[in-house]
Structures are given as structure tokens and as C-alpha cells.
Structure 1
């Protein structure tokens, strides 16, 4: 069963945000497991404004290409170059080294608690 990290909040589209400022954004292990082996990520550039609920990039796996949706609105502060260089980090460590980008938040989208997300998506709290 996929791990859902408590202490994070999650979007319906399987992205997570932490409580830092700027917030870190990544994809959940539920999403990484469903995608299979991630081979490419296309992320918004630093300085780009993103809007909660809107597509802001792509995650490509050996199975499919999936849109990445912004869980919050604001300006992208930093992009994780390590995840671009080694997309397999999204599979091996989605809540750690596999984070995607940080955002200076102007507005949050609808976010679920870890408990709500795990209940809705069959994940195991960890």
C-alpha cells in the first residue's frame, strides 16, 4: 500500500504541499506508484506564476504522461534540478529528494489533510 505522509496536505490531483515558506510541492507516493517508472518531468520555471487547479507541468512515465496540477497559487521560487536530472527520485523518495518546486503562496487551492487523502485514495498513513 502506498504511503501517505502525515503532516502534509494533498490536492485531489495527488500533489502534496508542506508547511514551509515558500511551500514545497511534490507528487504523492500514491501517484508515483500509479504512474510506474517516472522517466521525465516538465516543471514550471522559477519566477512563473501558477494558479491552483491549473496544469503547470507534466510527469512522464513508462506507462503514460500525466499533467501536474498546481495545488496552490503563487510564484514559483525554486525548481528541484535533481528531480529533473533524475526523475526516478519521484518513485524512490517522493516526499524527500523527489520534491518538484517551491512556491511563494498567494492563495491555496482546496487541500485535503493526510487522513482525508489516505481515506479517499487507499493510502497508508506514515
Structure 2
């Protein structure tokens, strides 16, 4: 009897990583690369390579990003994975790069989603939040 599909090694959709590492230590680069690999493993994606942008640029084009766009034109490439949107560059450049990735027919996947804004002070004063692990306990006697 053959093993179940869940027990066979299957390759997931092909993705390429993108890191923007300007003045970053080798240890930080290794940690970020490992985080991309773990994200892909946990989401059943096949990480086929990582492009690293080490230049401070004022525009969306760079050697690493151009190389990324080239591989996105290959058949069966699903998308790009990055640790966070900041790895696409400053806001205006990140928006343009995201647009170019979508125009290539690929998806941009972020390992860390942007956090929604949580104002600590509202118009009515400070906001008091319970921690996620707390719950009110109600008496059974009424």
C-alpha cells in the first residue's frame, strides 16, 4: 500500500525571496533568510532563491529587483516573499515595486503583516485594553 498524499514530499508553489539589507550584519542576513525559509516551509511554498538588495536607491530599479522581475517571468512562479513591506524599500519605492510584481502576474507575500494602528489615547482619554489571555469570570450564583 502506498503512503497517503500527506506523507509524500510534494513541492508547493515556487516563490523567490527579496531582502533589502543596507548596512546589515551577516548574522542578521542569516536570520532573515532563515525566517523566509521557515515561512515558506510552514505555508507549503518552495523557496527557489533569495534576491538581496544592498543599495540605497532613489528609484524602484536595482540590480537585485531587476533580477527578481526576470525570474517572475519564468513559468510556474507564484510570487515573492519578503519579511515585511519595508524590505521593498521606502514607501514610494515599495508601492512601485509591489505594482511591478503584480504586473508580472505574481503575488507579494509578507511574512509579517503590517500592524493595524492602535491609538493609545482616544478622544475620551486613555484606552485600557485587557490582555488577550484574560476573561471575566462570572459567578454562577445570581
TM-score, with normalisation over the residues of structure 1? 0.26
Q: Which has the higher contact order (CA 8 A, sep 6+)?
A: 1
Q: Identify the structure with the greater helix proportion.
A: 2
Larger Rg: 2
